[in-house]
Amino acid sequence: MSEPVLEARDVAKHFPVGRRGVVRAVEDATLALLPGRIVALVGESGSGKTTLARVLARFYPPTSGEVLLHGRAGTGRRGYHSDVQLIFQDPFGSLNPLHRVRYNLERALRLHHRTRDRRELERQVLDLLERVSLSPAGDFVDKFPHELSGGQRQRVVIARALAVRPKVLLGDEPISMLDVSIRLDMLNLLARLRDEDGLALLYITHDIASARYLCDDIVVMYAGRMIEGGPKEDVIARPRHPYTKLLIESSPDPGRGEDDRAALFDGADELGEPPSLVNPPAGCRFHPRCPFAMPECEQSPPPRTDLGGGHWAHCWLHQKGRAGDLASTTHAAAPALRAAGPADAPGAADDCGDGKEEGP
Ligand code: SF4
């Protein structure tokens, strides 16, 4: 396997709030982005995914831990942003509204590649627009951002990111503000850039369906911590953390009947809100919502369990020989399970042996 282009190692990011408070937005985040692969970072709002993206983009320094580009920590700012580009959710806010598309792209080319020759600049600007399927490029190059649709604006933002010839794209909910009708086109564009340029891509989303469509690997965050990750097919087919299972079972599935879907959403609502990151729950941060919580879940953060094939999870079920509980339970039943108490959950007495699961 190739070497990571960009890595986070044990990254934490805390923000001071009030006189003595601290928002623990990200804790112990470890992530590697490889050339030609797309990792989806999935979680609900407030899970820390945008903060982590901003640390990776060097918009925020980490509170602890390190971010390595090509294995090194000390790359200068301009060199760093020549290799790592962040695409924001709101394409309108990302472009200078007073300037035409041409200016927005030329500026990136001038800054990062010192291209000065007018004809060469023109050629590169038109090429960039064609690459993101704004074609014929001549129809778009002299437009102002407000004269473009949301999808066209986001394509210009991606073209500007490509102007610096990056190795890594960090997409922070890049399709969530676009019309549903063009989201698929945008995902296909990102996949094409991964294939053509061998880009390493981080795709941040709250929507597991788009992650399922686009990515190679999935990492799930909950309340500032990474809780599960691995190859997409395995994580989706066999989630090994109760929260991942809830996310997957709550996402639209054409194969699921209406009654089942309603029951799943009811269950999700009853599981409650994510916790405060100022005073997060001790131990596993999911324990107040988890139908499988055990005494140790309230005391210590669960260690990482490697499950084989690159799949891993942070959940005490795997250390305590209770992984079978999760596989045999749907979240439609979760509120009832929680009311009954963890000891009454199906399979609570099952013992899977040494707590280590076989690989997929
Ligand atoms: Fe967290 Fe425990 Fe539930 Fe696993 S079983 S998700 S460690 S509360």
Write down the pLDDT at residue 262.
Answer: 43
CA angle 239, 288, 293 (to 5 degrees): 60
Q: What is the pLDDT of residues 179-216, one digit of tens each?
A: 887 888 889 999 999 999 899 999 999 888 899 999 99
- Token readout for 165 is 């010839």
Write down the pLDDT at residue 256.
Answer: 53
Cα four-point dihedral sign 272, 274, 275, 280: positive
**342 Cα nearest atom in ligand 1:** 5
Rounded to the nearest angstrom, the distance between the alpha carbon of 54 and the centre of ligand 1 is 28
Query: Ligand 1 test: best mutation among 227, 241, 338, most atoms within 8 Å of CB?
Result: 241
- Please name the helix (run of DSSP H) or strand (run of DSSP E) that holds residue 232, with its range, or none: helix 232-237
Rounded to the nearest angstrom, the distance between the alpha carbon of 290 and the centre of ligand 1 is 6
**241 Cα nearest atom in ligand 1:** 6
Sort 177 into a burial class: Cβ within 10 Å, 0-12 / 13-18 / 19+. Answer: middle
Q: Give strand pairing partners of 16.
A: 22
Rounded to the nearest angstrom, the distance between the alpha carbon of 287 and the centre of ligand 1 is 6
Query: Ligand 1 test: best mutation among 227, 287, 326, most atoms within 8 Å of CB?
Result: 287
Q: Which residues of the chain have pLDDT under 50?
A: 258, 260-271, 332-360
CA distance 15 to 63: 9
- Nearest residue (by CA) to ligand 1, atom 4, is 315
Q: What is the pLDDT of residues 258-270, one digit of tens each?
A: 454 444 334 444 4
Sheet holding 64-69, edge to edge: 21-33, 6-17, 64-69
Query: Ligand 1 test: best mutation among 246, 284, 289, most atoms within 8 Å of CB?
Result: 284
**302 Cα nearest atom in ligand 1:** 7
Rounded to the nearest angstrom, the distance between the alpha carbon of 93 and the centre of ligand 1 is 39
CA 112 to each of CA 44, 106, 130: distance values in angstroms, whole numbers, following the listed order:
35, 10, 20
In the chain, what is the greatest distance between 2 CA atoms, to the nearest angstrom?
Answer: 74
- Nearest residue (by CA) to ligand 1, atom 7, is 315
Write down the pLDDT at residue 343.
Answer: 35
Sheet holding 168-172, edge to edge: 84-87, 168-172, 200-205, 38-42, 217-222, 225-231, 311-314, 304-308
Rounded to the nearest angstrom, the distance between the alpha carbon of 317 and the centre of ligand 1 is 7
Rounded to the nearest angstrom, the distance between the alpha carbon of 291 and the centre of ligand 1 is 8
Ligand 1 proximal residues by C-beta, below 6 Å: 241-242, 284, 286-287, 290, 292-294, 297, 302, 315-317
Domains and CATH numbers, the chain: 6-215 (3.40.50.300), 239-350 (no CATH)
Give the DSSP per-residue string, 139-191: GTTT--GGGS-HHHHHHHHHHHHHHT--SEEEEESTTTTS-HHHHHHHHHHHH
Write down the pLDDT at residue 349.
Answer: 32
Rounded to the nearest angstrom, the distance between the alpha carbon of 292 and the centre of ligand 1 is 6
> Strand ranges (DSSP E) for 185-256?
200-205, 217-222, 225-231
Write down the pLDDT at residue 46.
Answer: 87
